Amino acid sequence: HFNKEFLKKLGFSYIAEKSFDVDEKYTVEEALILLKSLSLWSLVDESRKPEMLKEMKEFYESHLVNGFVLRSRKISTVVAYKR
């Protein structure tokens, strides 16, 4: 989300936002790679990471949709210009 008032103060007169709901599809292995790339992963104690990966793999495998792990996201874009 963005601050429309802030953009107005900068002199933008036309401001529009468009959002799209998307489902990203991952294999179980891709989902685990994504998990390890998140900053939250660095907060997991090193000694617990193997156990956590095993649990997450089991979770993903039990929640597949047509063979994929789905990650629902909202993608937003802002268009603004000055006249």
Distance between CA atoms of 17 and 32, rounded to whole angstroms? 32
d(CA 57, CA 40): 17
Q: How confident is the model at residue 80 (pLDDT cuts 50, 70, 90)?
A: very high
Cα gap 79→2, rounded to integer Å: 11
End-to-end CA distance of the chain: 23
Could you read off the pLDDT of 42-68 as tens digits, one per residue?
999 999 999 999 999 999 999 999 999
Describe the chain by its helix, strand, coil percentages, rounded to 5. 45, 35, 20
Rounded (10°) angle between helices 28-37 and 49-62: 140
